[in-house]
Amino acid sequence: MYHFTALVTCLAILFYLFTGIQVSKARVALGVKAPATSGHPDFERVFRVQMNTLEWMPVFLPSLWLFAIYISDAAAAVLGLVWIAGRLLYLVGYSRAAAKRGPGFAVQGLAAGVLWLGALGAIAWRLIHA
């Protein structure tokens, strides 16, 4: 069973939904009417947090699950929590200034990279030793 990975998956989706709410709030507060995606720098940064999170989900989620299946549910979940923490750090930094997004991006990128490389390595190992 992959209960820990499933829980982290739900938390990642919850974080993404939270970013959508932040975009909606920024639209109202800053007067950026849909379908516009620009117009106020504060809105644009909040919008980019949501879009960047969406852009990373197709890398993160399959890597998370493949790591869980081929290596460890618990280890995948811990790395998944690190990814979410990185996304939160990215949100806080980028919301303040574009130049402050780097640390959060690095944390989430490293976590996603470890998940992907770990899964790839474990799959290759099993193929070679099958």
Residue 70 lies in a domain: yes
Q: Is there a contact between 23 and 40 (Cβ–Cβ < 8 Å)?
A: no
* Backbone CA torsion sign across 119, 90, 11, 29: negative
Q: Residue 87 sits in which domain range?
A: 3-125
Residue 130 lies in a domain: no
Domain count, the chain: 1
Local confidence band at 58 (pLDDT 50, 70, 90 cut-offs): very high
d(CA 86, CA 41): 22
Local confidence band at 47 (pLDDT 50, 70, 90 cut-offs): very high
Q: Which CATH number covers residue 63?
A: 1.20.120.550
Q: Is there a contact between 90 and 18 (Cβ–Cβ < 8 Å)?
A: no
Share of the chain above pLDDT 90, in %: 99
Task: Look up tokens 């800053």; give the residue.
Answer: 30
* Backbone CA torsion sign across 115, 116, 118, 122: positive
The dihedral formed by the CA atoms of 27, 28, 33 and 37, expressed in degrees to the nearest 10:
0
Local confidence band at 109 (pLDDT 50, 70, 90 cut-offs): very high
pLDDT value at residue 101 = 97
d(CA 120, CA 6): 20
The CA distances from residue 48 to 7, 10, 37, 64, in Å, are: 26, 22, 9, 23
